[in-house]
Chains A and B, each alone.
Chain A
Amino acid sequence: MTVSAIEFSRLGPPKLRLYAMRCTSCEVLSPWWEYHHCYACGGSEMVEQELAGTGELTNYTVVYYPPRDFLGQEPYVVGHITMDEGVLMPAPVVGVAPEDIQVGTRVKATLRRMKLGHEGDIYYSQKFVVDSEPATT
């Protein structure tokens, strides 16, 4: 999730967690914004589940025309990361040139500056970097 620096200082690091929502009916994991409803089975009771922060890049795009909040960062990579727990996370992938990015790359979450808000406040969130460590089994 994304929080501003102001919220970060007030609430502290615990708010910046990497988690998914797990459906108590079908156990399928969904992205963290699915706290009302399970898209897989229609269940309505969702609970948070922490993620280890590692996964595989399964799809990506390179954004050349960003929305206002991301101006100046272009071109940047937004990936679909299939986390090791199975849930798909959309997130920027940094530290690798757009032309070198490859589907199948192991990635891990890291805390980075995300964007500037409308009032100039800085927002932080998870971005992903190439994970050079072999996956733990």
Chain B
Amino acid sequence: MRVGVLGIGKTPHKIQHEKSLRDLVVESGRAAMADAGVEPSDIQALYVGNVGSVGFNYENSTGLMSAHHLGVVPAGAVRVEAACGTGAWALHLGCVAILSGLYDTVMVLGAEKMNDLATVEATSIIAQAADSKEEYFSGLTFPSGVALTARKYMQTYGLTEEDLAHTSVKNHHYGARNPYAHLRFECTVEEVMRSAKVADPLKLYEVCPMTDASSALVLCREEILRDQADKPQVYVTATQMATGTWYAATDTLGDAYELLARPAQRAYDMAGITADDIDVAEIYNSFAIQEPLGIESLGFAPQGEGWKGAADGSTWIDGKVGVNLSGGLLCKGHPLGATGSTQAVDIVEQLRGTAPKDMQRPGASIGISACRGGPGAVGAVHVYQRLEG
């Protein structure tokens, strides 16, 4: 399969009190259309990833709101929701829409404005993405649910908190260089260890911030991009989705591995490549532990060893595979519905060779994005390739 990436756009990822959800949508959507060289009337369908506007912003129908304010009328528009995998699901639907042959050009957009509410309210809304009626009766939150996974991982493989802290150090090294990132500072293992406890053993520098952002892609039939030789020839060459358990209580390390390993293998088969071919990867890491889990699922390291790359350099920019050279969610933040679409935009930048200085992996031609959510409930993997001629 090949789906052309005609245009990309994104807003800065940060707290944006001066902008509304619709301002963010319009900013990224217009940027993507300008990059693609299309008008709103060229967009035949609009897929808007948004998790919680009904709670965060007291507005619903984000798909229809986006269509109206972007002028994508009368094309069909819909809001997509799949917890933290939302943006990736919007991308999946956009790809499927093109592959079906029904549409020539569609837009995929992710948007979330999380900072209209106090942290305690926002935390409660995020908790609703898991079973807030039943399992979270115990006082669990998303960070604490993933903290249980982190402790299980440490126990199983005999690791220390310092071992896992290297992941944050690597992400912050690149996040400090990303002008679009929310948290732009470097940190050391000692500083990660000293940062405030959030949900033991997770500490503040191992947890993503709540972020306001939007990002968008204009997708098209393969032939449309191929006929425009002056445009960067970047294509989505695999899109695969999966589900897993919705509960922390049944989310074993095996489940956490399979959640992304299954769609990753299908994606490699679909694209006709292997893990060894990947130059750059954006791997979901709203909490640091999820990066080594994703590295293992994508086949870059054996189970229990995914944390090593951040310590020994093999997942840095000049390592075997560049992982989260954007700074990951730990630095970009995790604007729920926009996270998956921003991962896609960041990989496309890498393959175009237009990522910011000190983040660009030289000669990157094959990339992958892996998004998870729920946190054990949604797995999403996309492969992207720069194809010449």
Contact = CB atoms under 8 A, between A and B. Distances in A.
Contact of A65 (B119, B136, B138): B119
Contacts of A39: 245, 247, 250
In which size bucket is the chain B interface?
Answer: 35 or more
A66 interface: yes
Contacts of B197: 62, 64, 75
A59 B124 contact: no
Nearest to B118: A68
Contact of A63 (B124, B141, B155): B141
A61 B199 contact: yes
Interface in A1-26: 1-2
B191 interface: no
B162 interface: no
A100 B132 CA distance: 28
Interface string B138-153: 1111011001100110
A65 B143 contact: yes
B59 interface: no
A98 interface: yes
Contacts of A111: none
A122 to B, nearest CB: 14
A59 B151 contact: yes
Task: Output the residue of B137, B140, B198 with the most chain A CB within 10 A.
Answer: B137
Dominant secondary structure at the B interface: helix
B148 A80 contact: yes
Contacts of B152: 59
A98 B139 contact: no
A60 B151 contact: yes
A90 B250 contact: no
A73 interface: yes
B318 interface: no
B245 A125 contact: no
A60 B139 CA distance: 12
Given A61-B147, A64-B196, A65-B119, A125 B137 contact: yes
Contact of A67 (B127, B198, B202, B248): B127
B244 to A, nearest CB: 10
Given A63-B144, A65-B199, 16 more contacts: A31-B250, A60-B148, A60-B200, A61-B144, A61-B202, A65-B123, A66-B123, A66-B139, A66-B141, A67-B132, A68-B120, A88-B249, A90-B140, A92-B138, A98-B200, A114-B139
